[in-house]
Amino acid sequence: NLRGLAPVTIVNADIDPLRDDGATLETALRSAGVRVERRNWEGSVHEFFSMADIVRDAREAQDWSFGRLRMALR
């Protein structure tokens, strides 16, 4: 049961075996009435998020997700 969860942010990479799981989770959360925002970074691979020093999309994904976390903690 996903009802009542706090808002959720999902970061997906385009070339990732877990990408479809992110989409499935987004659908399930929305169906349960949970606020969710999901972004998929086209052309990025599974571990891109930890490569912000060298991958521009990773820096963008971090800025976006960390910004959402900062807003949630206000």
21 occurs within a structural domain:
yes
- Domain of residue 54: give its range: 8-72
1 occurs within a structural domain:
no
CA distances from 61 to 5, 32, 44 (A): 22, 26, 11
pTM, to two decimals: 0.90
Number of domains in the chain: 1
pLDDT digits (tens, 9 = 90+) for 28-70: 999 999 999 999 999 999 999 999 999 999 999 999 999 999 9
29 occurs within a structural domain:
yes
45 occurs within a structural domain:
yes
Give the model's pLDDT for residue 29: 98
Average pLDDT of the residues in 5-27: 96
CA 45 to chain centre: 14
Question: Which residue spans within 1-74 are E strands per DSSP?
Answer: 8-15, 36-45
> What token pair was written down for 33?
């009435």
66 occurs within a structural domain:
yes
Q: Please say whether the beta carbons of 14 and 41 come within 8 A.
A: yes
CA-nearest of 67, 65, 70 to 41 is 65
2 occurs within a structural domain:
no
